[in-house]
Amino acid sequence: MNPETLEASPEALAARVPDGAMVALPPDNSLPSVALAKALIRRGARGLRLLGVPVSGFATDILIGAGCVAEVQTSAVSLGEAGFAPRFTAALKEGRITVRDATCPAIHTMLQAAEKGVPFMPLRGLIGSDILANRPDWRVIDNPFAGGGDPVVLLPALSPDFALIHAAMADREGNVWLGRRRECATIAHAAKATFVTVERLHDGNLLEDERLAPGTISATYISGIALAPRGAQPVALLDEYGVDAGFIAEYARAARTEEGFQAWLARHVTEQHEEALA
């Protein structure tokens, strides 16, 4: 592994994310790095522009609550069975964040355009919806191959500054195993830089293992890796561990108020980290 790729901690990776950066996070069921979200909070990050790929969840809500976020582009923000994301809802009502509405197919299409190195890609299914009125960066044209009467939407390529992912393992060459969550490969291909926290390091080259290679993303697309055991909790990580529904429900109750959220933040982000370092 390139010694510059493996960092000492999630804090070291978070220090490389500047204020105002566009940061892509996968949804709660697809490898988000909660460890890096917490590290950004401890760093005091500000003005982040979050991209939910394609929806946003727990990590997004705690970043918003901590005052790290200026903008969210997503198709939804939710805590799943625990209901609405309380800090997102409060920030939106109070006008503290900008929300850029999108759809799941639209977000994936914009990332795929960046992945392929093309300036835009067409998408059907948006025409007739209200969302087009609020997205002046999306253009409707007539399909040039249809001879008229066939409008399509053109979506610009979207290349986030950083993608933040938590995976089960990486090898010492810098390759990362995503398992069945191949959509995270698209995020990494599209992003300018991808930071990954992992449960463990794998002995051997993941790309040389016939069983593991199909679920592996090449080190070419990885800009930094840090060990962070249980770094996706309280959300699930493949077959490694399941979602902690009770913890998320407890968070949802606490975060209904600013005071409750700040108490939760101190207990589970600040104090917990200080105890780990002691």
pLDDT in tens, 181-216: 999 999 999 999 999 999 999 999 999 999 999 999
- pLDDT of residue 278 exceeding 60: no
CA 157, 52, 234, 277 torsion: positive or negative?
Answer: positive
How far apart are alpha carbons 23 and 51 in whole angstroms? 6
How far apart are alpha carbons 184 and 164 in whole angstroms? 10
**DSSP per-residue letters across 148-180:** SS-EEEEEE----SEEEEEEEEEETTS-EE-TT
Percentage above 90 pLDDT, the chain: 92
The answer to whether the predicted template modeling score (pTM) of the entire model surpasses 0.85 is yes
How far apart are alpha carbons 186 and 178 in whole angstroms? 11
pLDDT score recorded for residue 274: 66
What are the Cα distances from residue 176, in Å, to 15, 47, 189, 221?
21, 29, 13, 9
- pLDDT of residue 1 exceeding 60: no
Q: How confident is the model at residue 148 (pLDDT cuts 50, 70, 90)?
A: confident
- pLDDT of residue 4 exceeding 70: no
Please name each of the domains of the chain with its CATH number.
Answer: 6-103+158-277 (3.40.1080.10), 122-156 (no CATH)
Query: In degrees rounded to 5, what are phi and psi of residue 117?
Result: 75, 25
DSSP state letter for 15 = T
User: Model confidence over 6-40: pLDDT tens digits?
Assistant: 888 999 999 999 999 999 999 999 999 999 999 99
How far apart are alpha carbons 34 and 165 in whole angstroms? 8
Burial 129-138 (b: 16+ CB within 10 A, else e): eeeeeebeeb
What are the Cα distances from residue 42, in Å, to 60, 85, 137, 195, 257?
15, 21, 34, 17, 20
pLDDT score recorded for residue 139: 96
